[in-house]
Each structure stands twice: as C-alpha cells, then as structure tokens.
Copies of this chain bind each other. A is one copy, B any other.
Amino acid sequence: MAEPAGISSLTLNRLSVYLRCLRQLQDSDVTHVSSSQLAQQFELSAALIRKDLAQFGEFGIRGTGYRVDDLVESLIKVLGLDRAHNLAVVGLGSLGSALARYLSINDKPFRIVAAFDVDGRKVGHKIGHLTIHHSREIREIIPQTGAQIAVLSVPESAAQRCYDDLADCGIKAVLNFAPVQLKQAPSVRTKSVDFQINLEELAYFLSS
C-alpha cells in the first residue's frame, strides 16, 4: 500500500472517470476487467490506468485483472465519496438552480445544506426544503451549517466578493462557475468550471 504524496489533478480526475466506467460495467453485470479491456472499451490508456491506481495501493490480481466491485469500492474510498459532503450553493440564477436540482436528484454523497442569493424575490423562499438566505448573511450562516464546500454560481461582478466571504467563514473548497480569474485564498481549494473558455477553444479549431 503506497499512500499518497501529492496526487495530481489529472490523476484524480481520471479516477473519477474510471469509477464512472466501472459502475457502467457493474450495471452490465461484468465482474472482472483488465486495464486493457477498460482502455479499449472507454478509449483510455491501459498503462495510465495501472499507474494511476498504483499510486493508492495494489488493487489488481496479476494474470486476472481487477474485480469490478472491489475496485469501485476502493475508488470510492480513495476519492472520499464514502462520507457525506455538505455543500452551500451561492447564486440561484438559472445555472445555480440547475446545479442545485442536479445535486438533489442524485443520492450522491453531496448534500446541499445552505443556499444564498441577492435577489429579494428569492430570499425567504425555498429551494427543495431549504430556505434561501441573502448573500450578505454568508459569513453568519455558513458556520452553523457544517458546509465545507461551496458552489459559486453568481454573475462575474459578484464572484470575487462572494468568494472572499466564503473564504472568511471557513469554507474549505469552492467550485466556481463564474467566468472570472479569481484571486484565490490560500486556505481554500478552488476549482473553476468554465463554459466560456471551453467554447472559445472550440471556436479556435473551427477558424484555423
């Protein structure tokens, strides 16, 4: 068992992909799989699968491959998906609401425990069974909720201010959807999902 040192984002993101593929195999009642079978079926690299997994232990059986159920369980543990994660959603425009809805549907380990918006028409109303608070109350309310992760889906102009508030009140990780270059707080693990940047990359290839 080779416990982690510094695992790269690339590796971690691939682990999520592997987990997803393995669950698909579970649904088809496949019980065993080799790295090269996985690679072929899902357009991945067999060597990379083995390297990635080897960073966390020896999950395979030489000559046989991997037991699907076991590997799923192992990956869930490695990624920390075997325990609940409390989320705060900040910004309930159309994107924020879509994300909130998505997170509510899945019996995934992510659970929304707080919701914020600046729109007076939304504050006080409910999303699911959760009351929407005004964004200015972030610092006050977050600590009471046990939220460690925040999903930030506010307009560009509000993103940095909300981010700073979240950092101040002890949030440990932020998933940012606003199309801005955030000035990051050292105490907060930050990831951005940027629709616009990806679309612009595609535009590049269509123009050259």
A contact residues vs B (CB 8 Å cutoff): 4, 7, 9, 12-13, 15-17, 20-21, 42-44, 78-81, 83, 85, 93-95, 97-99, 101-102, 109-110, 148-149, 172-173, 175, 179-181, 183-184, 189, 191, 193-208
Quick check: B191 and A202 within 8 Å, CB to CB? yes
Quick check: B208 and A80 within 8 Å, CB to CB? yes
Task: List 5 other contacts, CB 8 Å, given A80-B208, A95-B102.
Answer: A13-B198, A85-B206, A94-B102, A149-B206, A191-B198
Please indicate the chain B residues that have their CB under 8 angstroms from the CB of A175 in the complex. Answer: 195, 198-199, 202
Please indicate the chain B residues that have their CB under 8 angstroms from the CB of A16 in the complex. Answer: 194, 196-197, 200-201
Identical copies of this chain, number: 2
Quick check: A109 and B43 within 8 Å, CB to CB? no
Quick check: B81 and A200 within 8 Å, CB to CB? yes
Q: Bound state CA distance, A95 and B201, in angstroms? A: 21
Q: Bound state CA distance, A127 and B92, in angstroms? A: 20
Minimum distance in angstroms from A207 CB to a CB of chain B: 3
Quick check: B173 and A189 within 8 Å, CB to CB? no
Q: Bound state CA distance, A175 and B198, in angstroms? A: 7
Q: Bound state CA distance, A93 and B98, in angstroms? A: 8
Quick check: B79 and A204 within 8 Å, CB to CB? yes
Quick check: B173 and A79 within 8 Å, CB to CB? no
Quick check: B205 and A189 within 8 Å, CB to CB? yes
Quick check: A99 and B200 within 8 Å, CB to CB? no
Q: Bound state CA distance, A189 and B99, in angstroms? A: 26
Nearest 4 CB-CB pairs, A to B? Answer: A80-B207, A94-B98, A173-B202, A95-B98
Please indicate the chain B residues that have their CB under 8 angstroms from the CB of A199 in the complex. Answer: 110, 149, 175
Q: Bound state CA distance, A135 and B4, in angstroms? A: 45
Which of B7, B42, B181, B198 is the one whose CB lies under 8 Å from A43? B181
